[in-house]
Amino acid sequence: MSHVVVFGNQKGGVGKSTLSVLYAYWLANVHGQSVCVIDLDTQANSSKTLRRFNSEVSAVELFGAELDSGIAGGSEQRIALVPGGKRLSDIELARPETVIPAFRKNVASLAQGFDAVVIDTPPALGLRMSSALIAATAVVCPIELEEYSIDGVTDMLKTIFGVRQRYNPGLQLAGLVLNRFNPHSVRQKAAMRQLLDSYREFVIPARISTRSAIPEALAHGLPVWDLPKSAAREASAELKALFGLLQQRMDAAGVGASSTGVTA
C-alpha cells in the first residue's frame, strides 16, 4: 500500500505548499518513485510550481463521481499533478456525507497507481482538510515558531486525533516540522521551549532555515537541489535530512511503501 501524505496546518504561510512540492520532488528525483500530488487549495500554489506535470483530472473532481480512468503513474516524469483551483471553494458548502467518501474512494484508487500520494491543503480546518485527513495514511504539520503558533498546533492536533479516533484509525502523525527556523531569534527560542514542553514526542529533530534558494528554485519549477548555486546546498541538505526522517517514521509505522526501500 502506498503512503498518502497530507501536509496540513490551518495556519497560513507555514510552508505546506513548499514542503509538499519538495517532498514530491525528493521521492521522484532522489528515490525514483512515482508520485501523485493533489492540490486542495484554491490559491493553487503547488499547482503553479508543478504545472508541467498537469494531469487530465482536477482536484475538485475527486470529490464527485468515481473517476472513469486513473492517472498514469510511473511515467518518465514520475510526478503527476491533480491541480487545485477556484472551484474547490464550492466543496466547503457541499454535504460532508457525500464528498468525504467520494474523495476517500478516488484517492484510494489513485494511490494504487503510484508509489506515493502527496496532498497539499488550504489554510483552514474545513471540509477539504477533513477529507484529506480521512483519506490519508500520514500527516505532516509544518510550523513556524512564532507567537500564537502553539495555540494553532493544539487545534491542528485536536483535529488530527479527532479524525483518527472517529474515521481513520490508520492515520499517523508523521510529525511537526520546524520551518523558517532561526536559531538566533529569542522569540523562536521561547516558542521552541513551549512547543517541546507540550509536544516533544511529535517534533521532528530536523529544522528548515529561512533560505532564499527555496522560493527561488520553486519559482523556476525546480527542486532546490537542481538550482545551480552554492546557496542551495545548505537548503538541500536540510530538506533531504528532514524528508529522510519523515520517511523513516512513516515506514516504521508499518503502513505504506516500506518495501520500496526509501531511506534517508
Ligand X SMILES: Nc1ncnc2c1ncn2[C@@H]1O[C@H](COP(=O)(O)OP(=O)(O)OP(=O)(O)O)[C@@H](O)[C@H]1O
Cell numbers describing residue 108: 484510494
84 is an interface residue for ligand X by CB under 6 A: no
Scanning 16-24, 185-193, 196-204, 223-231 for contacts with ligand X by CB under 6 A, the matching segment is 16-24
156 is an interface residue for ligand X by CB under 6 A: no
Is there a contact between 149 and 138 (Cβ–Cβ < 8 Å)? Answer: no
Count of CB atoms within 10 A of residue 185's CB? 14
Provide the mask over 74-93, with x wherever binding to Mg ion is found by CB under 5 A and - wherever it is not.
--------------------
Task: Give the Cα separation of 80 and 118 in Å (integer).
Answer: 10
Task: Give the Cα separation of 202 and 177 in Å (integer).
Answer: 9
Which residue intervals of the chain are DSSP H helices? 16-25, 45-49, 96-111, 127-135, 149-166, 186-199, 213-219, 231-252
Task: Give the Cα separation of 40 and 120 in Å (integer).
Answer: 6
The DSSP secondary-structure symbol of 79 reads E
* Nearer CB in complex with ligand X: 19/255: 19
* Nearer CB in complex with ligand X: 230/263: 230
Which residue intervals of 33-143 are DSSP H helices? 45-49, 96-111, 127-135
Which one of Mg ion, ligand X, none is in contact with 32 (Cβ closer than 5 to 8 A by kind)? none
According to CB under 6 A, which one of 179, 188, 236, 247 is a site residue for ligand X? 179
Is there a contact between 4 and 137 (Cβ–Cβ < 8 Å)? Answer: yes
Task: Give the Cα separation of 109 and 129 in Å (integer).
Answer: 19
Cell numbers describing residue 109: 484508487
Which one of ligand X, Mg ion, none is in contact with 210 (Cβ closer than 5 to 8 A by kind)? ligand X
188 is an interface residue for ligand X by CB under 6 A: no
According to CB under 6 A, which one of 81, 127, 208, 227 is a site residue for ligand X? 208
Provide the mask over 44-73, with x wherever binding to Mg ion is found by CB under 5 A and - wherever it is not.
-x----------------------------
17 is an interface residue for ligand X by CB under 6 A: yes
Residue closest to Mg ion, measured at CB: 17
* Nearer CB in complex with Mg ion: 43/248: 43
Cα torsion through 115, 138, 213, 27, rounded to 10: -10
Q: Which residues pair with 173 in a beta bridge?
A: 139
According to CB under 6 A, which one of 96, 162, 215, 261 is a site residue for ligand X? 215
17 is an interface residue for Mg ion by CB under 5 A: yes
Q: Report the nearest approach of Mg ion to the CB of residue 253 (Å).
A: 25
Residue ranges in contact with ligand X by CB under 6 A: 12-18, 41, 43, 45, 123, 179-180, 208, 210-211, 214-215
Residue ranges in contact with Mg ion by CB under 5 A: 16-17, 45
